[in-house]
Structure 1
Amino acid sequence: MDLLRWLFEAQIPVGGSALVLREVLGNIFGLLSALGGMRRKVWAWPMGIVGNILLLTVFLGNVFGAAAPATLWGQAGRQVMFIAVAVYGWYRWRQGRESSSQGRAIVPGWASTKVRIALIGAMIAGTAALTPLFDALGSYPPVWADAWTFMGSLLATYGMARGWTEFWLIWVAVDIVGVPLLFSAGYYASAVMYLFYGFFTLTGFFVWWRAEKRERILVHPGAAPVGAAR
C-alpha cells in the first residue's frame, strides 16, 4: 500500500512546477512499446499495456483526486481502448510469429484503397460523434481535439495490429493535434513525448515501408502482404 500511495503521489520537480511521476513512467513504457513496434517485436504490446494503465490514472486525475492539471476523457478513454486493442494485437502477432517459418511476428503491408477511405471516414465521423459526448463529460477544450486524438489512436493501434504500414501516418495526424492540446492542458511530459513521437513515427513509417518491399519478396514471393486487406 505504501508503494502504491507513493506511486500515486510522487512528483518530479521541474523549475517552478512538477511532473506527475506516473505520467513520465507511462510515456517511457509507451516509447518502449513504439520502439518494439517499429522492430515488430511481440513484447511491444505488453509494454504498451503497462504504460496505458499508468496513463489512465493520470488523465483521470480529478477522478482520482491526484495532482493532474485537468481531466481529459478522450485521453483517458483511449488508454482503455489501447489495452483492448493491444490484447488483440498481442494475440495476432504471437500467432503470426508461431506460423512464420522466419519467426516474424508480422510482415508489413499496405491497406487497400477501400480500407484507406474507410479509415479517413471513420476518423472524421468518429471525431464528430465523440466531441459532444466528451464535452458533456467535461473534457478539456478544445474538445474536438480530444476526440480526434482518441479516434486516431484507435485506428492507428488497430492498423498496427493488422500490419498496415499506413498506421504510422495516422499517428502523425494524432500528434499534430495532440501536442498543442496536451501543452494547453498542462500535461507537459506527455506533450514533449508526443512531440518526439511525431518524428519517431515518420522514421517508423519509412522503416516499415522498406521492410514491406524487402520481406514481401523474401518471405512471400508473388503473394500479397500479410497486412493487406481485400
Structure 2
Amino acid sequence: MNWLNTEAFTLLGQHIKWSDMTGNVIGLLGLVFGWRRSIWSWPIQFLAGLVLFAAFATAHLSGSAGKNVVVMLVAVFGWRQWNRGKGGAADGHIAVRFATWRERAVLLGAAAAGTVAVAGLFLAYPSLSWDPWPDAYIFVGTVVAMYAQARGMVEFWFAWLLVDVVGVPLNFANGFAFSGFVYIIYGALVLWGMRDWWLRTRTDARPVLEGAPA
C-alpha cells in the first residue's frame, strides 16, 4: 500500500499524491450519490474516509486524519438511518426536510463548541496538528455536515460549503493539491445538490398537503 503515498503526477505546479487523488475521487462519487439521496452514498463515503485517513495521517494533520475516522463512523450511522427508511420518499430514496430552528441552533452550537474544544486540544498538544484552528474547524464541520445528512436535513449542504471555504486553502497549503482542486468541484456539486434537496422538500411534502382537510 506504500504506492498510495507516492506522487502520481504534477498538475499546475502542484504534486498530486495517489492517496489524495484516490480518496477524493471516491468521496466525490459519494457526494453525487448523496445528491441523488441514494443509500449507497454511505459505503462510498466510508471507503473515501479510509483512504484519506491514511493520506492525512502521514502528513501530520491529525485533525483531518481524525476527521476521516469520524467520517467512517458517521457513514455507518448514516447507512443505518437511511436503511431504516425513516421518512422514506415514495420513489424509494430518503425523504429530505429543512431542520427546525431548534435543530439549527443545536447544530451551530455544537459546531462552535466543538471547534473550540478540538482547537484547544491541538493547542495543548502541538504535535497533533500544525494548523490547530482550521484543522479543528474542518474536523467538527465535517462531522456536523454528515450528521445533518444522515438526518436528511437540507442544511447539510450549507455546512459543506462552510467547510470548503477553509478546506480549499488549507489543503493547498499542506501539499494536498488534489484535495484543493476537488473541494472546488465539491463546491459546485454542493450548490447543485442544495437546489435539488431544496426543491425535493416541496415534492415530499406535497402528498401531505393535498391530503389535508380543506
- Given the two structures, how large is their TM-score scaled by the length of structure 2? 0.90
Question: Is 1:114 matched up with 2:131?
Answer: no
Q: Among all aligned residue pairs of Structure 1 and Structure 2, give the percentage whose two residues are the same amino acid.
A: 35
User: Contact 2:5/2:55 (CA < 8 Å) preserved in 1?
Assistant: no
2:137 matched residue in structure 1: 148
Deviations, residues 33-52 of structure 1 (Å, cap 9, x unaligned): 00000000111111111111
Q: CA deviation at 1:28?
A: 0.5
Of 75, 79, 96 in structure 2, the residue corresponding to residue 86 of structure 1 is 75
Letter of the aligned partner of 1:186 in structure 2?
G
Q: Distance in 2 between matches of 1:183 and 1:100?
A: 39
Of 16, 20, 32 in structure 2, the residue corresponding to residue 35 of structure 1 is 32
Query: Taking structure 1 as reference, are residues 100 and 115 closer, same or farther at Cα in structure 2, changes over 3 Å only?
Result: closer
User: Contact 1:157/1:167 (CA < 8 Å) preserved in 2?
Assistant: yes
Query: Taking structure 1 as reference, are residues 85 and 222 closer, same or farther at Cα in structure 2, changes over 3 Å only?
Result: farther
2:9 matched residue in structure 1: 13
Q: CA deviation at 1:73?
A: 0.9
Deviations, residues 83-129 of structure 1 (Å, cap 9, x unaligned): 111111111112218x8573523111011101111111111111111
1:139 matched residue in structure 2: 129
1:207 matched residue in structure 2: 196
User: Contact 1:36/1:42 (CA < 8 Å) preserved in 2?
Assistant: yes
1:45 matched residue in structure 2: 42
Q: CA RMSD in A?
A: 2.0
Name structure 1 gaps, 5 residues minimum. 62-69, 224-230
Q: CA deviation at 1:23?
A: 1.1
User: Contact 1:60/1:72 (CA < 8 Å) preserved in 2?
Assistant: yes
1:179 matched residue in structure 2: 168
User: Contact 2:89/2:204 (CA < 8 Å) preserved in 1?
Assistant: no
Q: Distance in 1 between matches of 2:113 and 2:191?
A: 25
Q: Distance in 2 between matches of 1:78 and 1:222?
A: 43
Q: Distance in 2 between matches of 1:45 and 1:153?
A: 14
